[in-house]
Amino acid sequence: MSLADQVLAVNNDLPIRTDKPVHSGKVRSVYWLTNSDSKRLIKEKGYDVPSDTPLAIMVISDRISAFDCIWQGEGGMRGVPGKGAALNAISNYWFSLFKAQGLADSHILDIPHPFIWIVQKAKPVMIEAICRQYITGSMWRAYTKGERNFCGIELPEGLEKDSKLPELLQTPSTKGILTGIPGVPAVDDVNITRQNIEDNYEAFNFKSKDDIALYEKLLKEGFDVISGALEKIGQIFIDTKFEFGYVKDTNGQDKLIYMDEVGTPDSSRIWDGEEYRKGHVVENSKEGFRQLLLKHFPDPDILLNKDRMDERTALARDNELPADVLMQVSKTYTDIAEKITGEKITLSDNPKAEIIDILKVQYQLID
């Protein structure tokens, strides 16, 4: 059994019964179930949702994206062994903790296999809800260029790279391209202010102005829960991105929930606490992979400069990374997942075959 066989790179070709196109993102693919299968599963499995709720199978992959490209390794490795299972395990752990502490539900209804979630349809809030406890990354780059107003927040003078901020900051950006919002450019992932959201809350898919404060509360509470739990295992929660959406409860009322993934090495920066106190930043997140890429290629500007996107795409397509680089990334993901969850991440011999078997036998979703 080669490592390449244990990597689930292609996840949009499963024979799951669906009457809609499969939606594939950078890492996950979503299969919308037929109305009759959704109704049947809600009844058979006792999911706590209205009987007419559309359901989907969300399948994670081991693909790794960075700088808006998907990267591959030598020897036919089209992803990072263990990455998908690690991401799901971490999200599952935090979502359970949120629910136990009375924060809010998530879109996940069932976890049939380490690579898959059964989720309910949600209407996403069009905001990347970003929280920062330390100044690094894009905020630090803006700060060094003299910017002191970040998402409408005034930053004090004299901050140092990678230092703790005076308080936890919420620095939202757009999710997708939003048009017709005054003062907000129609491009993906552009920084916005709270005033932008308040003035145009319906354009961001909020049901009411009051829900802006609710999303901010859930973001802060979620950040604090994860930060406190990470501190107990010697890790520092630096910054993160959450996503939110609306679903209907069994009474037909709208409720705001957590969506996508939370507190993972893909959506967050997590640093080793002991090393940080010694003055070193040791990344336990995808940022480490980004740094590896910047060192690996002779012209890092290709990766950083959005005007060179064609060259960057070619770089990712035409270069196979050394296997030991991907295995180093695999160790980062699986180690932090095992630290957080307290459980071993086991590589499947053939994840795709396992998924098909479970969905066929236990869920009757494959003919």
Q: Which residues pair with 219 in a beta bridge?
A: none
**Which residue type is seen at 204?**
F
Q: Which helix (H) or strand (E) holds 30?
A: strand 28-32
pLDDT at 1: 56
- CATH 3.30.200.20 domain extents, the chain: 3-122+342-361
Handedness of CA 226, 133, 275, 66 (dihedral sign): positive
Q: Which helix (H) or strand (E) holds 331?
A: helix 323-341
> What is the rounded distance in angstroms from the CA atom of residue 118 to the CA atom of residue 53?
12
pLDDT at 3: 72
In this structure, what token pair is assigned to residue 294?
Answer: 């910047």
> What is the rounded distance in angstroms from the CA atom of residue 169 to the CA atom of residue 135?
10
Q: At what angle do helices 287-296 and 323-341 cross, to 10 degrees?
A: 170
In this structure, what token pair is assigned to residue 6?
Answer: 């244990």
> What is the rounded distance in angstroms from the CA atom of residue 337 to the CA atom of residue 60?
15
- Nearest alpha-carbon partner for 246 in 125, 113, 358: 125
* pTM (predicted TM-score): 0.95
3-122+342-361 fold: Phosphorylase Kinase; domain 1 (3.30.200)
pLDDT at 357: 97
Handedness of CA 229, 230, 236, 237 (dihedral sign): negative
- Nearest alpha-carbon partner for 212 in 227, 229, 195: 195
**Positions of the chain with pLDDT lower than 70, given as ranges:** 1
> Are 119 and 159 in contact, with CB atoms under 8 Å apart?
no
Which phi-psi region, left, alpha or beta, contains residue 91 (left: φ > 0; alpha: ψ -120 to 50)? alpha
Tally of CB atoms within 10 A around 354? 17
Would you call 89 helix, strand, or coil by DSSP?
A: helix
